[in-house]
Chain A
C-alpha cells in the first residue's frame, strides 16, 4: 500500500518536474567536470560537445595528412582537451612548429652571403 502511494507521489512529482522543465533542451544528468564548471553556460556546453566530435575528427584527418603514423593518432588525441582540439582544428598549418632552427639558420646565412655577393659587398665566391 505504502509503495503504491509512494509511486503515485513520485509520478506527481515527475509531472511537476517536467512542467517546470517545460520544453527546455534535454540535458543529460551526470557529474560535471571541473574544467566544464570553470567556464560553463548551457549554450557553450552544448556547442563544446558538438565541437568535440567535429574538431576531433578534423584534427585526426590533419594529423594523418601531416604524416603522423595512424597508430599514434588516437594516443595524441587522447591527451588533448576539448579546448585544445578546437584550437588545433584547421590550424595545424599555421601554428608555429618548432623544428630544426639551427640547420635552417645555416641555410639563411648562406642566402644572405649570396645576396651580399650579388650586390657586390663581398667577394667570397668570385675571385677577382
Chain B
C-alpha cells in the first residue's frame, strides 16, 4: 500500500502536460459548457458520444437513433469505422484529427468537442471506451470530458494521455459541410470528402470540395470531385464547367478528359465529346487505367453517335 501511495505521489510531482504542448499566449482554460450530455446506457458509449457531437453540429438526434447504426450487440460496443461512417448519414464530415494533444486542444479552442477512443484497462486487458473531450485547464493540468454516465468528468491530463495513447490517440470531430478543421491535413481531408462522394452524399461532398479549393486552390482532385458531385446531383452544366477548368488547369489530367467527355455525351454533344477525348489521348499521361478508359470511352461514344444517327435516318 505504501508503494502505491509513493507511486501516485511520484506522478503528481512531474512536469505539467498541457503547458508543454500549448503556446503561452493561448487560453489557459477552455470548456465547451453548452455541449449536451447523454448518459450512456448499457455498453452504449459509442452512440452516446457520437450523438453528443452530432447534436453539437446542429442536428436533432438522440443516442437511440444511433444505436441501430453503430452498436454491435454481441461485441457490446461500437467500431471506429462505423462511427465515422454513420456521421456521413447525417451529412456531416467526420474528420479524424492528427493523433496529438496539440491537435486535440486546437479543436477545442475552435469550439468543437472531440470524440476520443480510450483504453481504460491495461494494454493486455483492454477496456475500450468512447468519450467526448469538451475542455481543458492548464492551471490544474486537467482534461474535461463528457464520459459514460458522468456529465463533467475531470481527469489529469497525464492519466488521460495514458488511456488515449493506447488507441494510437484516435480522435475525431464532425464538421458541417464547408467547415474546415484546424490545421487540416490536405490528403486526409480530401479522402474524408471523397468517401462522402463515394457513398452518394453529393451535396455535402460538394461543399467539402469547395472548401478545399478555397484553402488549396492547386488541388486537381478537389476540382475533379466537384465535377463528380455536380454530376451526381444532376447539375450537368456545373459538372461540365468544373471538368473544363480541370483540363484547362491540368492538361495532362486523363480522368478529367474522360469525365468531361461523358457529361458532353450525356447531353448528346457527341462530336464535342469525341474532340475532348482525342485531345485527352494526345495530352494526357497514359499511365494506369486512364489512357485505356479514354480509348474505351471514344469507342462507346462513337457507337452511340452512330446509333442515334441511324434512328434519325430511319425517322426521316
Q: Which residues does A use to contact B, with CB under 8 Å?
A: 3, 6-7, 10, 13-14, 17-18, 20-21, 24, 26-35, 37-38, 40-42, 45, 63, 65-69, 71-72, 75-76, 78-82, 84, 87-88, 92-93, 95-102, 104-105, 108, 121-122
Contact = CB atoms under 8 A, between A and B. Distances in A.
A29 B198 contact: no
B292 to A, nearest CB: 6
Interface in B68-90: 68-82, 84-86, 88-89
A32 B224 CA distance: 9
B298 A101 contact: no
Contacts of B233: none
Contact of B293 (A27, A66, A97, A101): A27
Contact of B45 (A41, A98, A105, A122): A98
Given A35-B191, A76-B70, A121-B1, 4 more contacts: A37-B255, A40-B289, A65-B74, A99-B45
B194 interface: yes
Contact of A29 (B40, B81, B195, B300): B300
Contacts of A26: 296
Contacts of B224: 34, 37
9 contacts: A3-B313, A79-B89, A81-B199, A82-B198, A92-B72, A98-B46, A99-B43, A100-B148, A101-B128
Given A29-B293, A31-B228, A102-B149, A68 B197 contact: no
Contacts of B126: 96
A35 B194 contact: yes
Contacts of A78: 199
A93 to B, nearest CB: 8
Contacts of B71: 68
A26 B1 CA distance: 72
B198 A35 contact: yes
B292 A72 contact: no
B306 interface: yes
A98 B77 contact: yes
A104 B121 contact: yes
Interface string B262-293: 11000000000000000000000000111011
B296 A84 contact: no
A38 B303 CA distance: 30
A13 B302 contact: yes
A105 B59 CA distance: 32
Contacts of B1: 121-122
A45 B289 CA distance: 9
Contacts of A17: 295, 298-299, 302
